[in-house]
């Protein structure tokens, strides 16, 4: 398989048409080798527009979704990032190339180990993967400039918003089937937040996040 041709096709046919046009993001997608973060059994699918099984009921986000989240996060060199749901470590690696530091939380021990190994092999030294329940966040290491949720949640818990710096932002896919939206919540003051939902998408659910009751009294 010609990985470089497949990578080029992924960028040109999936990612650019999805309004990912930032030059830095496109460059990262061309140099961070996605195939090295895909389980060996699925390596031929590394550049396909699909969620790739990682085992343990978890799936890798589709390439265009990872790219769009990365573009919207607009991580800067001086920033500290918290990622909830490291998966295989691919989005972790992409953000690490932009950030000062990334701490990624992964609830599944086998995937946490996989992500650590993948990042080490890729030469990424400013990202750390911890096996932990990301629903609680990581208040002891906060506040963070960026919090990235690598999956879908029914709603964003307040405890994560409290771990944002003023001027920071949280990105997640929020909602429940069949309606989910990319959601960017910016902390504009100590108790003030602004929310944008610029595009619709879907993503696998993150574990242990609360699901609100459909009944309102």
Q: How does pLDDT run across 116-161, given as a tens digit for each residue?
A: 999 999 999 999 999 999 999 999 999 999 999 999 999 999 999 9
Distance CA 147, CA 133 (A): 15
Instruction: For residue 217, tell me if it sits in a domain.
Output: no
Confidence at residue 213, expressed as pLDDT on a 0 to 100 scale: 64
Confidence at residue 56, expressed as pLDDT on a 0 to 100 scale: 86
CB contact set of 7 (below 8 Å; sequence gap of 6+): 29, 30, 33, 34, 47
CB contact set of 13 (below 8 Å; sequence gap of 6+): none
Give me the domain span that covers residue 136.
3-200
Confidence at residue 173, expressed as pLDDT on a 0 to 100 scale: 96
Structure-block tokens of residue 171: 């990105």
Instruction: For residue 102, tell me if it sits in a domain.
Output: yes
Instruction: For residue 211, tell me if it sits in a domain.
Output: no
Q: How many domains does the chain have?
A: 1
Interval 28-40 mean pLDDT:
97
Structure-block tokens of residue 169: 């932002």
Counting residues of the chain whose pLDDT is more than 90, the rounded percentage is 91
pLDDT in tens, 42-90: 999 999 999 999 988 899 999 999 999 999 999 999 999 999 999 999 9
pLDDT in tens, 80-123: 999 999 999 999 999 999 999 999 999 999 999 999 999 999 99
Q: Taking Cα atoms as reference points, which of 203, 141, 142 lies closest to residue 174?
A: 203
Kindly report the CATH number assigned to the domain that includes residue 109.
3.40.50.150
Q: Interhelix angle for 23-31 vs 3-10, to 10°? A: 160
Q: Per-residue pLDDT for 165 more than 90? A: yes
Q: Name all contacts of 209-213 with Cβ < 8 Å and 24+ positions apart.
A: 209/135, 209/153, 209/154, 209/155, 209/157, 210/135, 210/154, 210/155, 210/157, 211/154, 211/176, 212/154, 212/155
For the chain, the straight-line distance linking the first and the last C-alpha, in angstroms and rounded, comes to 57
Any idea what the Cα angle at residue 171 is, between residues 135 and 38, rounded to 5°? 80
Q: How many CB atoms lie within 10 A of CB 28?
A: 18
Beta bridge partners of 83: 104, 148
Confidence of residue 179 (pLDDT cuts 50, 70, 90): confident
Confidence at residue 123, expressed as pLDDT on a 0 to 100 scale: 97
Distance CA 190, CA 58 (A): 35
Instruction: For residue 210, tell me if it sits in a domain.
Output: no
Counting residues of the chain whose pLDDT is more than 70, the rounded percentage is 98
Interval 8-29 mean pLDDT:
97
Confidence at residue 216, expressed as pLDDT on a 0 to 100 scale: 52
Instruction: For residue 207, tell me if it sits in a domain.
Output: no
């Amino acid at each position: 398989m010609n990985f470089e041709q497949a990578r080029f096709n992924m960028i040109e046919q999936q990612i650019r048409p999805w309004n990912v046009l930032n030059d830095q993001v496109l460059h990262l997608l061309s140099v961070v080798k996605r195939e090295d973060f895909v389980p060996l059994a699925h390596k031929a699918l590394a550049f396909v527009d699909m969620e790739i099984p990682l085992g343990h009921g978890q799936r890798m986000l589709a390439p265009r979704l990872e790219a769009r989240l990365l573009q919207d996060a607009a991580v800067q060199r001086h920033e500290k990032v918290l990622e909830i749901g490291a998966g295989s470590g691919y989005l972790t690696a992409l953000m690490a190339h932009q950030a000062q530091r990334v701490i990624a939380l992964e609830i599944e021990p086998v995937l946490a180990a996989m992500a650590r190994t993948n990042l080490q092999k890729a030469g990424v030294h400013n990202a750390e993967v911890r096996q932990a329940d990301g629903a609680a966040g990581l208040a002891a290491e906060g506040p963070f400039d960026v919090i990235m949720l690598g999956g879908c949640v029914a709603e964003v818990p307040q405890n994560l918003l409290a771990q944002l710096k003023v001027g920071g932002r949280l990105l997640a896919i929020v909602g429940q089937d069949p309606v989910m939206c990319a959601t960017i919540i910016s902390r504009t003051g100590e108790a003030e937040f602004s929310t944008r939902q610029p595009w619709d998408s879907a993503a696998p659910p993150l574990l242990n996040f609360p699901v609100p009751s459909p009944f309102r009294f």
